[in-house]
């Protein structure tokens, strides 16, 4: 099958709905894409346009369907081959909107071997590439954490928060100093992310710092920061660190003594009761 025949196997929507799908034809087309290797994948990617610049429904459908198809268990060879072919197209001179689509497909089928190509966009604030890159790397898992560590010191603006959160998602204990520094940042979202990241790594030794920062925050920030302290206490309790969890609940009760904090004291009492 040539590229045109492959793409014709994928239906066009009637309105906004795909009503008539020939499953067998789609399966055969996907097999042709996989067996066609890097060249076939590139031919189809070349037909994908920047959003709003034309009709590329079938090429997008073909790539997305293949990404899902190779994502199953027992398909490591097919998955790595297709994902590598996809990742190689990120080096080309393409619209960033197209690269965003490619990265989103790599979130489905990519692995550690493609992480470097994906991580190149962690600090790219255009077309949400930093978000797509972070999400894809997080989906791949802990093997990508070094990319987040390298990117964070260079990050500015929106990517900085996303990269910091990625380190928290991956529960990277080696980034503890990043988290502690983030808690002192002038940006409230970065401060809260720093507290959240410390909670994610179950950092009992930093509980007092987290509580101290929660008391400094105002309004919604104070609520969120305190909630992360509660989450840390719950995690510590589950890990058998009841003494440390108890200390957090007691300190929340003592430090949040204002009338509007009554619900926090009640929550702390419930947490203490569960430790009995």
Q: Quick one: average pLDDT of 133-145? A: 97
From the number of C-beta atoms within 10 Å of its C-beta (0-12, 13-18, 19+), residue 187 rates as exposed
Q: What is the pLDDT of residues 41-51, one digit of tens each?
A: 999 999 999 98
- Beta-carbon contacts of 20 under 8 Å, excluding residues fewer than 6 positions away, are 11, 14
Q: What are phi and psi of 17, to 5 degrees?
A: -120, 135
- Beta-carbon contacts of 25 under 8 Å, excluding residues fewer than 6 positions away, are 9
Structure tokens at 264: 């926090």
Domains in the chain, start-ordered, CATH in brackets? 172-276 (1.25.10)
- Rounded CA-CA distance 246/233 in Å is 7
Q: What is the pLDDT of residues 71-118, one digit of tens each?
A: 877 889 999 999 999 999 999 999 999 999 999 999 999 999 999 999
Q: What is the pLDDT of residues 208-240, one digit of tens each?
A: 999 999 989 998 999 999 999 999 999 999 999
Terminal Cα distance for the chain, rounded: 69
Entry pTM: 0.91
Q: Which of 190, 200, 215, 189 is nearest to 167 (CA)?
A: 200
Structure tokens at 42: 């590139």
Q: Which of 220, 168, 218, 155 is nearest to 195 (CA)?
A: 168
Q: Could you tell me which residues are beta bridge partners of residue 203?
A: none
């Amino acid at each position: 099958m040539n590229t045109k025949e492959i793409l014709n196997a994928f239906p066009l929507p009637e309105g906004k709905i795909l009503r008539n799908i020939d499953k067998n034809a789609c399966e055969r087309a996907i097999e042709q894409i996989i067996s066609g290797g890097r060249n076939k994948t590139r031919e189809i990617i070349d037909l994908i346009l920047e959003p709003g610049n034309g009709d590329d429904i079938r090429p997008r459908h073909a790539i997305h369907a293949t990404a899902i198809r190779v994502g199953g268990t027992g398909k490591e060879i097919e998955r790595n081959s297709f994902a590598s072919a996809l990742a190689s197209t990120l080096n080309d001179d393409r619209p960033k909107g197209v690269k965003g689509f490619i990265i989103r497909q790599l979130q489905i089928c990519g692995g550690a071997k493609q992480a470097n190509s994906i991580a190149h966009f962690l600090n790219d604030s255009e077309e949400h590439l930093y978000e797509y890159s972070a999400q894809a790397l997080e989906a791949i898992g802990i093997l990508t954490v070094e990319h987040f560590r390298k990117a964070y010191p260079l990050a500015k603006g929106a990517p900085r928060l996303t990269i910091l959160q990625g380190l928290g998602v991956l529960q990277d204990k080696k980034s503890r100093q990043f988290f502690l520094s983030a808690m002192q940042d002038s940006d409230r979202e970065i401060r809260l992310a720093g507290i959240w990241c410390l909670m994610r790594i179950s950092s009992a030794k930093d509980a007092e710092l987290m509580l101290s920062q929660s008391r400094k925050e105002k309004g919604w920030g104070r609520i969120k920061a305190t909630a992360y302290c509660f989450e840390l206490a719950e995690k510590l309790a589950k890990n058998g660190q009841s003494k440390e969890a108890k200390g957090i609940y007691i300190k929340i009760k003592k430090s949040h003594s204002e009338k509007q904090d009554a619900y926090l004291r009640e929550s702390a009492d419930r947490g203490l009761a569960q430790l009995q």
